[in-house]
Structures are given as C-alpha cells and as structure tokens.
Structure 1
Amino acid sequence: MTKPRKIILTITIFYTLFILYFMFFAFGRGDAAETTAGYTFLFLPESFFRLPALSDLLHPSLMTLVDLGNIAAFIPFGILIPWLYRITFARFMTLFFIAILVLETIQALTLLGSFDINDAIQNTIGAAVGFGAYKLGFRSRNLWRNLATTAISGMVLLLVVWGLFGVIDKAATKVEGPFVAINEWVDSSGSSSPGDKPGSIKIGDQNVKPLYNMYGAGGDSITYTYTSEGETIFSFYYGIPEPTDYSGSIRVTLDGSEIMSGSGEDQRSDPELFPLIFKIPLEPGSKLKITIEGNEKVWDVGYRRMQYFWS
C-alpha cells in the first residue's frame, strides 16, 4: 500500500469513527436510552425532502443542524471510498445504503436512537453528492487541483440538491387554499338557512363585523351539520352579542364525539377572551355537528381546502 493510500485510509477510518460517535453517543443518547420504553422503527419515507430553509440558518436549532447534517456529514464518504477503491456508482450506492440500514437497525435495537428510513435516505443522498463531486473533481494528475475542484463541485452539488429538495417538498406539501364561506347551511330540521350578515355586533368592548355570515338559534336550540368532502380546515368565530344575559351555549361534536363546548358563563367569567375562534382540520368524510342554544352566535363560518400549490 502506497503512502498516499495509507493516509486516505487513515482519514476514512477516523472520519467513520467520528460519524459513529455522533450516531450512537452524541446528543445525550446514552441517557435517553435509559428512559426509552421500546424500540422505534419508522419504515415509511415521509419528510426526507424537507431541508432547512435559508431563513432557518440565521437562528439554527439543533434539529435544523441535524436535518442539514444528515446529508452534509455523509458527503466525505462519497469522496473517500471511490478514492480508495474502484467502484461503480450503482454498487457504491447499494452497499452504502445497506450499511446505513444496518447502522439504523443497531441504533434502534440498542435504544440509542431509532430506525428512521428518512435518515437513511438522506445519508445516502449525501454520499451520492460526494461521489458526484469526486467524479467531477478527480480529472487531472494534480492532487491539489483535484481536491479544490472536488470541494467546489461538492458545494455546488449540495446547493443543487438543496434547491431541488425545496422544490419537491413545496410541490408535495399541501397548503391552505382560499377561504370558502358557508352561506347556505342545513339545520337540524332539514331547512337551508342563509344566515344573517349584520353590519356589526358588540361583544365586550369590541365591535365585530362579520365578513361573510352569521348563524344563531333564535333563542332556542339548533344543530348545523358540516360533512367534509376533502381534507379541509373548518373554522368559525363564536360569542354572545350584547346586550345579553349570557344565556346561551355551543357544543361541537366530530363523528359523534364531543370536541368542544362553551357557555355564556364562560364569556361572563372571561369576557376579554371573546370572541373566540374555533378551527379544526378535517379528514374526508368527517361529520361535524355544531349545536347552538339561546343567544349564542357563530359567524364567518367556512373552510379552507388543503391543496397543492400547483392545483
């Protein structure tokens, strides 16, 4: 073995030990293992395209550094290993991914971490960036020129991957669409109510102006139903307008289970909290029932459909 090869092998060994330390012992993993109740295996890839935005790096948290490090820390393996051994990209990626899966499994079984397929994919992508940088950099007989070109290529490829991940993550992430007001709402009697739209109402010291609609029970009790036709965010404001004796209440159930209730006494006790907003994410087919009694009012009732930005 030539001297340069021995140096590269030594660097590879020490860097591997450095990475293994962070994988198994850093971030208080030993202490956490004593309080971990069981093994954690995450087999379904979910968020490996989510890397920190540039704004996150201005005030980086530990998780920001971990997310970025999952790729950046494994770039050197993509440079050092093909430098030591002649290996094709496909074989390198296969063997490296298997090795990471083994390490992730050991992490989980020793309770020093979890098996997370997202981490394994990010680590392997980092190694792929390094492999590409090596292939672009080592094209001459001048070692220092090769190293400089490899370093620049690695940074450029990392930025490309970072930008590509950002585009993919944005394209694959649903966001709240425009607000859709419910201006025709079926009540418990089967009647369709258009609701009211007063100029303004007064709750406590606030003058509130409903933008879309307002529904009430007319002093009695009435139940309105909303069935989600897709993945939505349902919302409304509620409170008892003045003048009032605080006689009124509201109750919300989701698929038969109560998830929220309130009464005029709540408003009497903490008037500064009102009007309140109720907001809940709903899965397709979820049935929401809102029962209003007495002088309770709900307004600006509607939903936002979760959708991809390109749709």
Structure 2
Amino acid sequence: MYLRYLEYLRLVIDHGSFAAAARAGGVTQPAISHGLARLQRHFEAPLFERAGRRQVPTAAALRAALQGQVLAERIGRGAEQPDRTSRRQVWRVGATPSAALVCGPALYEACRQAASARRLELSSADEGRMLAQLQGGELDLVVAPRPRGHPGTGLRSLSLYGIAPLVYARRHHPLARARTLEQLHSADWGIVGPSVSGPVDVLQEAHAVRRMRPPRVAVSCPDYASLLQLVRQTDLLCVLPHPVLLGDAAQAQIVAVPLREGLPRYEMQLFMPARPGRSLKAMVDRLLTRLPPA
C-alpha cells in the first residue's frame, strides 16, 4: 500500500496536478488525495507547498518519489540474476537527449579504447529512472543533471559542463523578440516529458521566483524532434537545455528568444557507482579526456 501511495506521489510530480495524475494512473482524484494524505503521515516535512493556486512538491516529496522508484524497481526485478556474460559484452550508458548528442562521440571512442569488443548501448529516460537503474546495476554510467533532492546513495558524480537553457520560437513568431517572461504570459508551450527535472522545471521555477502564473503547457511530446517540428510550424514556444538539440536544419527557422532574464542554470553530471570496477574506471578516464570544453 505504501508503494502505491509513493506511485501516486510520482504521478503528481510527473503530471503537474492531482487531476492529471489521476487520469494517468487510471484512478479517481479523491483516491490520489487520500493516498497522499496517508503518505504525509510518514513524513515530518510537508510533501507539498502552496504556490499561488497550485500545490507544488517540496524537496522532501522529490526525495520520497525517487526513493520509492528505486524500491519499486528493485522489487520488480525480484530474484532475477543479471546476465554476467552479456554485461561483459556491452557498456550500458543512460543519457539525456542533449547529453547523448554532446557526449556521444566521446563516449563511443572511450568505450572502444577501454574494451574494443564491448559495444556501446545508449538509452534515455527521465533522470530519476536512469539513476535508479544505475543504483540497481542495470546501467554502467549515467550522463544527466542531478534531480532535485536525489540522495545519490551508492553513487559518485562528476560535473561535466554547465547548462544554460533558453526559450525558443519560430523565427517570425509574434513573441520572438520578447525581452521578459511577463511578455510571454499568454504563450502556449510545448515540452518533452514528463521528467523529474530539467527544462520544464527550469521554466516553472523561473515563473515561481517572479510570483507569476505557471506557464501554460499545451503539448507534451515524446522527443525533441517532434517538439521542434511543432515549434517550427505553430506558435508554440519551448525551452531547450542545449542548442545542439536544434540541429542544422532547424537553426534557420527557430531562434532563441532574447530574454533579459536568464532561466535557472544547472550542471550536466556524470554518475557512476561509488566503487567502479577497473575497466569502468579506465573508460571514464578516457571519456573525461575526450569531452569537448565546457
């Protein structure tokens, strides 16, 4: 039952409201509210705080959701034994989409030099899930921002480079020359998500700090390619964590909105087990020498 309530908490964090969480989980909104009220009894710190008319998750809620995810995935694996043979044949690396583009070539070369017979298997999910997979031994490395409140138990991390997210619009968008977030208050936004942290949260945080209404998310896309296609052909705005996601084709049609107010910045980090094996440590050492300058 406790795990179910943690799953309800995760749904609210991922989908932004109790109503959306209920729809995604196939339950009623009162069931979500009841479950979270029961869950709150296990915590001294509040799981939600009011921001305007909305209830937003606290750092304690984010920590609880991530710990619950780790526990649920460990239970789901049950008594399964990892395939040691296949693990010796594959480097399993989780990366966010922008990290895969920025670090992919360096990852490939580092893996090839460390063990030429092992292929590189890149995968992507939200940051919390990838770190849970790393903690559970399903991944060798993760390249991602650290989710807020993540305890990082059993992990070690290195900062790779800074991320300065920007707002983007199609070139002739009526708001393409906006200078403040206030000027964007009427805009509809597209996102890639849901995720535990990253561009969407950066946008929410920027509005919350200025005591503005949350941005209106009109579309949630499965990947950045589909999001950029929508931005290119509609009046949607979006936030990209790194300009590399634009690609050459989109750069002529999609522009950064020149806001005077910077969005919150964060660090791209490399996560690994606290005690990496010799081959993994050798691969990481090679990777760090091959990454482009921050």
TM-score, normalised via structure 1 length: 0.22
- Which protein shows a greater Rg? 1
Q: Which has the higher strand share?
A: 1
- TM-score normalised to structure 2 length: 0.23
Q: Which of 1 and 2 has higher RCO (CA within 8 Å, sep 6+)?
A: 2
